[in-house]
Structure 1
């Protein structure tokens, strides 16, 4: 399965690179991930933050418009043992996300002047795209109720929405700080729906630092 992810990532990167007129970024992400759903006590489930890693490839079609392909790995978790002992559900879900985003860099500029001199700069950006997240959840029930059987999805379509800022540090090094949310259009990201609130979809939040090689 991992081989298929990498083939998809490289295919998209190759297609977009044929249209490039400016910079390319390739590098790694380190960050945090959490989720909103049936087992989260607040809009941002800060008590269940987990580490995430990933890789990204960004291709600037112009100084202000870029396409980014990303592959992210992380684990979400949730528990209602602290506030709903009678239900007693805990969950862990290992996620693999692959997504393509269009980014708008309103302050974007080329990294090199016509003379060839490097220009150190920064650019805030907004990203919107489409992707898929592959799930592998483990749900445990320790409450005293009768639990309904839940559907096992395996994968979900996601819409990634990101905000960030990119720093051009040197001719070959750039960095990003970014964060955003993922709409899943499903209540089964955490494996809990019929045993929770089936009318509310699950989301997850992802963000962190990217260190990138630029050429």
Structure 2
């Protein structure tokens, strides 16, 4: 059976209209949940690099829930679990690091509140691309269980080590963080994202268990990079009816 031109045009417009409604429904979703796999990177006395200890990167994971606030802003509650590690013996230069041979490990459990700002939807400018860059910042608390090891040091005497051993190691530390990422919508309700966030203030120089015998002038830090999935929870019919929105046109 052949469809008339009018029927074809009406069918096409109906499909387009329904698609627009479906996409708008996801874009107007107020709540989101997500999960991600992560890499935890330590930065402190036991690494010579300003980028942190890439050689001792440890894996982890995280989950979060977020709620839209005003405009492009959202409030996210994030749980991240992983571990941090540092090891002087990983670095040949400078040579004294292998002679000092300090090590540490600690599990990490971080809970944080973050404000996420979705900067711009690239899909508004590039056809068929739904890519959104974002930045974030926030505060949280990190729980640690630090195990330090100096048993293989070749130093006969390390300045400040006795003072470090007498200093209690922190079990909980406050953190301030900042970062950014990209998210790509693969469907109206599902997105993938890549993110990096740096704990620029950990308020301690004993994240690795050493301070006076290391570099007492700088605190220790860490950052997290991750890849994950985000699910935008569709609004219920009741919630949609309470909001005044233009309805989809009817086609005849």
Q: TM-score, normalised by structure 1?
A: 0.80
Report how many aligned residue pairs link the two structures: 186
- 1:39 and 2:39 matched: no
Q: Secondary structure at the match of 2:203?
A: coil
Q: Which position in structure 2 is the counterpart of 1:107?
A: 120
CA contact (8 A) 2:69 2:75 kept: yes
Q: Which position in structure 2 is the counterpart of 1:208?
A: 226
- 1:24 and 2:35 matched: no
Larger radius of gyration: 2
Q: How does 1:1-215 map to 2 (within 5 A)?
A: 22-44=29-51, 45-81=53-89, 82=91, 83=95, 84-107=97-120, 121-141=130-150, 142-143=152-153, 144=155, 145-146=157-158, 147-148=161-162, 149=165, 150-182=167-199, 183-215=201-233
> 1:205, CA displacement in angstroms?
1.0
Q: Which structure shows the bigger proportion of residues in helix conformation?
A: 2
Supply the distance in 2 between the matched residues of 1:94 and 1:59 (Cα, whole angstroms).
Answer: 29
Q: Which position in structure 2 is the counterpart of 1:4?
A: none
> 1:63, CA displacement in angstroms?
4.5
> 1:151, CA displacement in angstroms?
2.3
CA contact (8 A) 2:29 2:232 kept: no
- For structure 1, which segment, 168-177 or 134-143, has the greater mean C-alpha deviation from structure 2 after superposition? 168-177
Q: Which structure shows the bigger proportion of residues in strand conformation?
A: 1
RMSD value over aligned CA atoms? 1.9
